[in-house]
Amino acid sequence: MRIITCNLPEIYIQMIEQLTGDGGMFPSRSELIRVAVREFLIKEMATVEEFERHQTQHERKPINSNIEKIGEITHIFEV
């Protein structure tokens, strides 16, 4: 995995803190963010694939999709 830096509004950080650590749904902020990003990417890539299906019906060049790759790495993360 790679480390990235992301600036978030304070209210997001407060909500993340409520969901992590002892008694939280996630063991760490990193795990919460990984799960959230993974779910977002799966949803958005499904939207891209749906768009691609509509575009190919109109004989346009399809958009390259990576949703299969996201599905392949899903097993790495605990949900």
Instruction: Encode pLDDT of 12-34 as tens digits.
Output: 999 999 999 998 999 999 999 99
| pLDDT of amino acid 2 | 94
DSSP the chain: ---------HHHHHHHHHHBSTTSSBSSHHHHHHHHHHHHHHHHHHHHHHHHHHHHHTTPPPPP--HHHHHHHGGGS--
Q: What is this structure's pTM?
A: 0.65
